[in-house]
């Protein structure tokens, strides 16, 4: 059997029994990456030599008695996560030549745990997008149908896991960037609570909602990765000293699941059927169904598309052609260095968001846009917190539709923004949320989103594990 198809848990058991080594798994993964990347365009940078060395080191660590949930497990990181000595582009031309001088805290933790970095994954430029099409290096193709998008912005991390190029991938989620591609590619995608894991060493986009999150083959693996990547970090003052995540039980008897039916209005009937089937499954397993109301959740998109561009315009100010990244040599003075380096270096969506954010924050418009959006954000957050006092989790579809055809929506930014309708509320409120495979429509995967209480990822895992015990959707693989 090809070892690249294993889950983290399966691979770990086999390594512990001495049946396989990290070098064996890593070799199979690298072979799969070479075989498929021309079709998928999911990997931007390969770390073949380094990966083989890291795998050998992991095997040596095991031989000397060390154990660990991620020891010797190969993974791929989204290209907006800094990896020391390895090119890190955020899929932007402005960072085309950028070699990260240090590791992101989560990469450092994965390295310490013995995980093996195979390469860097494609994405929407600076994580701006819901399709992967905004990459300066071309769209990622969906392993389930090469003519369709893989979802975004973590398009590459989803495509590499769905095609078994690695055992898991590390993505980032700002307004749905882990959950959307997980839904489009039949994977488990976790957005942890804001403050659960360090953002140090991520290419900043929207600092008030950015979080790193894993994309995995099942829920048990997502829990394994979270347990390694979580925790307080002195380099990120927004991390919280919360109790560590314990391995959860798949028991949901008596737990309450909130269903905001009104919020689903307008969603495709076939998608809704999948959500209703999942609710019925949870009920069968002993959960109690509680109708809830989220009348302001629908304002998540307009709020998100003020707050995000505003923070983007500020965070992307650092790309000025002075200290790193593309610098236009034709510029005649300092101002031209700024304007021309940025004009030539940024792609269309980054420019659009910088412009929108600059406008929203500019004199005379701040109160009408940014301040108003921050107040509606309070309303959305309070509403979710209030409903989560009555229930343990909230269920929604992850996406309003299946993965669309490449090119179909790329010229209509507003339509693309509406893809985030179910995703932005949890991001704005900083709540943990997870997408798990729930079925298929027109032979394409559909995800279910579970939203939990702040720092209570464990309840998400309990529901997710139970669901994956009694369904088989997550075991279905793209035939590529």
Q: Which span sits near another protein by CB under 8 A: 20-28, 219-227, 279-287, 377-385?
A: 377-385
Tokens of 290: 């509680």
Q: Which of 21, 154, 177, 341 is catalytic?
A: 177
Give the nearest distance from C-beta 303 to another protein in angstroms.
Answer: 7
310 catalytic residue (yes or no):
no
Tokens of 137: 């290096």
User: Which phi and psi (to 5°) does residue 54 adopt?
Assistant: -65, -35
177 catalytic residue (yes or no):
yes
Note whether 324 binds another protein by CB under 8 A: yes
Cα 477 to chain centroid, rounded: 20
Interaction residues for another protein, span 183-212 (CB under 8 A): 194-195, 208
Q: Which of 21, 22, 78, 131 is catalytic?
A: 78
Q: Which span sits near another protein by CB under 8 A: 184-192, 269-277, 376-384, 462-470?
A: 376-384
Among 54, 233, 320, 419, the residue binding another protein under the rule CB under 8 A is: 320
Among 115, 303, 394, 450, the residue binding another protein under the rule CB under 8 A is: 303
Q: Tell me: cis bond preceding 367? Omega within 30 of 0 counts.
A: no
Max distance between CA atoms of the chain, in angstroms, equals 70
Rounded Cα gap, residues 352 and 346, in angstroms = 10
Dihedral Cα 8, 14, 16, 22, nearest 10 deg: -70
Please identify which residue in the block is written with the tokens 């309990």.
462
Note whether 111 binds another protein by CB under 8 A: no
Helix-strand-coil percent breakdown of the chain, rounded to 5?
A: 45, 15, 40
Give the nearest distance from C-beta 100 to another protein in angstroms.
Answer: 8
Note whether 321 binds another protein by CB under 8 A: yes
Interaction residues for another protein, span 119-158 (CB under 8 A): none
Dihedral Cα 455, 74, 88, 130, nearest 10 deg: -60
Q: Is the dihedral of CA 179, 182, 187, 192 positive or negative?
A: negative
Which residues are identified as catalytic? 78, 153, 177
Q: Which residues are at the interface with another protein (CB under 8 A)? A: 84-85, 98-99, 101-102, 194-195, 208, 234, 237-238, 240, 296, 299, 302-303, 305-306, 313, 317, 320-325, 327, 329, 331-340, 342-344, 346, 348, 351-352, 354-356, 358-359, 362, 369, 371-379, 381, 413-414, 417, 428-430, 454
């Amino acid at each position: 059997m090809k070892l690249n198809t294993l889950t983290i848990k399966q691979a770990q058991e086999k390594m512990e029994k001495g049946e396989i080594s990290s070098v064996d798994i890593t070799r199979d993964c690298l072979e799969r990456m070479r075989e498929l990347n021309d079709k998928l365009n999911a990997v931007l940078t390969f770390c073949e030599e380094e990966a083989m060395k890291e795998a050998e080191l992991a095997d040596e660590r095991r031989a000397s008695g060390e154990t660990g949930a991620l020891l010797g497990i190969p993974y791929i990181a989204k290209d907006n996560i800094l990896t020391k000595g390895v090119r890190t582009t955020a899929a932007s031309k402005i960072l085309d030549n950028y070699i990260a001088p240090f590791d992101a805290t989560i990469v450092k933790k994965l390295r310490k745990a013995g995980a093996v970095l195979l390469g860097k994954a494609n994405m929407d430029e600076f994580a701006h997008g819901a399709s992967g099409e905004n990459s300066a290096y071309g769209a990622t193709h969906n392993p389930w149908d090469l003519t369709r998008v893989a979802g975004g912005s973590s398009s590459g991390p989803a495509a590499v896991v769905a095609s078994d190029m690695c055992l898991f991938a590390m993505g980032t989620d700002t307004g749905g960037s882990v959950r959307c591609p997980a839904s489009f590619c039949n994977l488990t995608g976790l957005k942890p609570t804001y403050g659960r894991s360090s953002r140090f060493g991520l290419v900043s986009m929207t600092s008030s909602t950015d979080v790193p999150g894993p994309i995995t083959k099942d829920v048990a693996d997502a829990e394994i990765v979270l347990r390694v990547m979580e925790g307080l970090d002195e380099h990120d003052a927004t991390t919280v000293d919360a109790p560590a995540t314990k391995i959860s039980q798949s028991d949901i008897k008596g737990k309450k699941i909130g269903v905001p039916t009104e919020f689903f209005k307008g969603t495709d009937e076939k998608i809704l059927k999948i959500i209703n089937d999942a609710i019925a499954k949870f009920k069968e397993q002993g959960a109690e169904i509680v109708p809830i109301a989220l009348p302001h959740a629908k304002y998540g998109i307009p709020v998100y598309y003020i707050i995000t561009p505003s923070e983007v315009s500020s965070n992307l100010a650092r790309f000025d052609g002075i200290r790193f990244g593309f610098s236009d040599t034709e510029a005649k003075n300092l101002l031209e260095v700024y304007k021309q380096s940025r004009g030539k270096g940024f792609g269309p969506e980054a420019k659009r968001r910088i412009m929108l954010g600059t406008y929203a924050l500019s004199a005379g418009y701040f109160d009408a846009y940014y301040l108003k959006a921050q107040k509606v954000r309070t309303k959305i957050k309070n509403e979710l917190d209030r409903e989560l006092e009555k229930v343990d989790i909230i269920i929604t579809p992850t996406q309003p539709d299946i993965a669309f055809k490449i090119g179909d929506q790329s010229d209509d930014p507003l339509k693309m923004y509406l893809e985030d309708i179910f995703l932005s509320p949890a991001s704005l409120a900083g709540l943990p949320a997870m997408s798990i495979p729930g079925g298929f429509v027109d032979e394409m995967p559909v995800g279910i989103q579970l939203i939990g209480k702040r720092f209570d990822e464990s309840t998400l895992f309990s529901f997710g594990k139970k669901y994956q015990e009694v369904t088989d959707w997550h075991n279905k693989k793209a035939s590529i």
